[in-house]
Every structure is written in C-alpha cells, then in structure tokens.
Structure 1
Amino acid sequence: MFPSSSIPVSTSTNVFENGKYKTELINVRERSSWFSTKANSSQCSPPPKPLLIETPSEAGEFPVLLFLHGYLLSNSFYSQLLQHIASHGFIVIAPQLYTVAGPDSTEEIKSTAEITNWFSEGLQSYLPSHIRPNLLKLALSGHSRGGKVAFAVALRKALTSLKFSALIGVDPVDGMDDGEQTPPPTLTYVPRCFDIDMAVLVIGSGLGEVKRNPSAPSAPKGVKHEDFYNECREPAYYFVAKDYGHVDMLNDDTNLLLECFTNLFCKHGESREPMRRFVGGVMVAFLRAYLEDKSMDLESIKVGHLAAPVVLQKVDFLV
C-alpha cells in the first residue's frame, strides 16, 4: 500500500518533465583537501568526500536524496538527471566516492555511511541560507555499482545515525557475471529475503544484459536489477525500460574516454534523453509517495494513466 491511507494527492507538474523549481548546482570539496570559503574549520566541517549538490533555488524546506554514482563514473555525469529531480522540490546530493577502484566496494559502503552521518552536522553550512534540508525525509539511491552500495547500506552493512525512508536502485549490479559477485556480495538468491525497513524502487534497462562484444555485458544476468527486485519485500516497485541501456540515464555529453568505454561495453538506446526523463520522473513519483505522502503520480504510472517517455518491458509491484 501507499504510505497514506487518504485519497492520493495529485501534483501540478508532469514528473517526466522538469518541475516548477529553478535549481542551483553547488560543488563542495572534501575535508582532507579543502575548507569552505564560507566558513573556517571551526565553524563547519567539510564532508568526507567531494559532493555535487543540486537544490531548488527557491526558499523552503525540502526532502533529501543521496545518489551514488556507478563504477568508475563521475558524479558530474549525472548532473542533468539530478537537476530533473531537484526541479521537483528535492535536494539531491551526489558524492564522488572514488576516482579509481578495484572490485571490492567495502570502502564505498563505509564512505556512504560517513557522508550520511555528516549531514546533521555539516550539510546546512553548504546550502544557501534560505534552503533547509529535511533530514526526516531522507532517501538513498545509486546507479550500477552505486545501486549495490545503496542496498548494502540499507541492509545495515554500515550503520548510519540518520534513518532512510526510501531506497532506489537504478540498474543496480552486484558483480561481473552470473556467479561472479564482487565483494562484499549483496544478493543472496533467496526470494524476498532483504530485511529493508523502507519502500524500494528498482529501475532496470532492457539492453543492459546485451553484450556489445564478447566481453561481459554492463548489467549481466544473475547480478542485475531483476535479481535485486526478487529479493525485495513489500512495498517494492519494478520498472524496466525496454530499448535503453545501462548508462542511458547519464548526461548527453560526458567525456570522450567514457564514451569510448561505454560504446565498447554497453548497448545504447537511440537517445539518452527519454531514458533520463523516465528515470528522473519515476524517481520523483516514488519519492513523492514515500517522503511526502503524495501518491497520485506513482499510482498513475502504475495503472498507465501517466504515459512514460519510454516503452516499458516489465512493470511489477509488491504492495
């Protein structure tokens, strides 16, 4: 069921289009290398990792979404997606967890918990004075390996002082191939086993498991989105975009090295813009339902009254 027993509340904007808020992008460097120009170290504590913060520019108090990047990707590659979400009234925080990393994501899990714990003491200091984060309405999300890390934190593999109320996996991946999970493993292959005390949204790409060449696909069978959803308990929501690939929610322009890498390993849709609007829109609908008790948008997508900008290969719900 949706979080509120009242009649679902409608919103004034289409979640698949930009919202009503103008947004501002804030770049915050980490504590080990930099102290804010706004205040010295005795006044505020810089974050454990560099952050991109996309926030509404209009005064108010807004729910907060922590978004974790995919393997070897930059948080800046998601700025168009983050802007879409923020324009609907959310503060979106995207850390740069690492620059280079091996197969083990243990340190990313620890860093995510440290960043979350920093929110209470330091986040407000890096926001405009007229913008207030509502840390009682906090959600966790991640793409690809970042999705695996988000699930690991939700499963309490690292403890946080703040409580998350919603979890989103954007094409999450738990390893290199079927039977080849990377440490620490998140999937257990026991149906409905995840002990996660919050609503979950899993978004998948239909082309993610398609091999671009003889090497492994971007989102291999056995360690991909459907496997994460199969272990979720209610309430959980599952959407798979048919003709789009594992990185089709990134910016239109990233960098030449990434484009060469993704063209080598990942099957793409014709354009990233529809997939990015879909991912951003369904995330907004889910966050509205479980952070703001406004369930009309998610219900409309569920029953098909609100048309998605992509063809959906699969839709399923545990409610």
Structure 2
Amino acid sequence: MPTNPDSLLSLGRSVIRVEAAAIAQLESRIDQNFVRACELLIACKGRIVVCGIGKSGHIGAKLAATLASTGSPAFFVHAAEASHGDLGMFRSDDVVIAISYSGGSSELLILTPGIRRMGIPLISLCGEPDSPLAQASDIVLNTHVEREACPLGLTPTASTTASLAFGDALAIALLGARGFTEEDFARSHPGGRLGRRLLIQVADVMTQGAACPRSLDTASLRDAVAEITSKGLGMVALTNDNDELTGVFTDGDLRRTFDRDVDIRNLTVSSIMTHNPATITREEMAFNAVTRMQELRITSLPVVTDNKLEGVVTMHALLAAGVV
C-alpha cells in the first residue's frame, strides 16, 4: 500500500515524545529504593546476575553488558534457561536483578523460590509494584509508564525504554561510587580506541632486534642508505661504539643532501645526520609517540633506555595497531 509521509512523520515523532515523557517520569523515582539497590550491588561479593525474558530479556542482556564493562562484574541469564539448569550458575554471594514490566512472567516467578532458598537478594525492575515479582523482591525499582509508544498499546516500547534508562542509571551510579576511571574502562575494552590508547605501550609496537634499522655513525653514506633500503622504514638510527644513540638519518635527509652542492661519494653519514634526535622510551604509552611525532612532523622515533638504542617506533606501526 502507498505510504503517507505525513503519517510516518507523525507516528515517528509521537514515539519520541511518549518515550521521552516516560523517561522524564523516572527521575522522581531515583529515591531511597534506588540508593538501597546501589548499596546492595556495591556490597555484592559475587556477581550481579541479570535475568529476564522476551523484550525485557534483551534489555537485561544490555544491562549486564553495561555493568560488566563499567566495573561491576555481571552476566545475563535467560529466565527460561535458568529454570532448566542455568539456575546452577547462581551463587549465594550474588545479587539478582530481575526485569519484567508486568511482574507476572511465569518464567521469572518459577525462579524466585530457588533464589530465596539460596539467600540471594533480589532487585526487580518492574512496572507493576503490586505484582507477584515485586512482592517477592527485596527492592523494587518502579519502571511504570503511562502508556506504550505503540498506537495499539501492545508492543513494549516506552516500557522497555524506561527499563533501559533505569538500568543505565544503576550502572553509572555504581561506576561513580567505585571511582571507575578511564584506565579501568580501557582494561575492559582492549579492542576499542580508548583501550588501545591507554593500554598499548611503545614496547608493544616498536621494531627491534634484527629488523631495526641501525648503523654506526662512522658508516659511509652508501652503507647507511643500504640499511634504510633493506629495513624499509625510511630511516636509520645511528649509534657510537657503545650503542648510544647519536643521531638519525632519513630518506628525507638523503633527498636534501642531493640538493646540496657536495660530493656525496666520500661523505660519512655523521656529517649529514640529525644530531640529538627526539626519542621515546619503551615504557611510554604508544599514544604519546603519536602525539610527539605529530608535534614534530616526523614519522619515526628511536626507542632508547639510558640513551642506548633499543628499537624504533613508526607512525605506520601505530596506525596498524589502531592507536591512531
């Protein structure tokens, strides 16, 4: 059937208004029950077990993931699977968060006696405070909404959004209470950009050993160029007999040498190298290397310890590691 653009716009905007209103109503429910729930979760010696089914189950899986990534060990258990063996994953030092808007989901209610027998505290995110689930809970966080955003009043929309927002409020309140930092976040997100920036050190990405382009500063220009060519990093680090870094020579330096009116056949690389080059240590964060290279408009840095050459870190390697 043909679409009506005005109708599509009207319905879409209506959903946003209804769901925004539902979230706004939650603010007044961030009360002493919320504080008690947070204190219970902070004191948890085991893990936070989030449980739900249907659309509430999807919200629960997201909540468990958010908790786990922000310093509160958590996992999600599907309510139906829990009643067929996965209840064995629960431990007496855990805390359970059950999500059900109606509070009458039979798959959740069948679990409550077992949870009680194990002495596990039960927090519910529930839209019906007088429901069986709410009555079985130690703490009820009220996610009631005036109406669903669905014009039929059937599809969970505003109600699931309310549960999602309340769950996020819990997770972020716990994050703040635990003093969770960027470094903590990075440790649980090693594959993300922030994780790579805060976790990867120069030592993890530098070129070292036989692959590192290096030469004595007494070498001929011909030998230095051969080392640049064979190692393929566009530069060579130059040292004295004690393996101390004395300079660097790059393919850019070579081009600039050709522009000068000199006889390059008898030149030593020390006469045209860059003396006292910028360096970095292996223990520094790789992102610091990126910053330094960008500031100096260079593409490589010698890695040194007590001025002894250990390797070279390049912008190409940093890009490949996802640090940039």
TM-score by length of 1: 0.31
More strand by share: 1
Say which structure is richer in helix.
Answer: 2
1 or 2 for the larger relative contact order (CA 8 Å, sep ≥6)?
1
Return the TM-score normalized by structure 2: 0.31
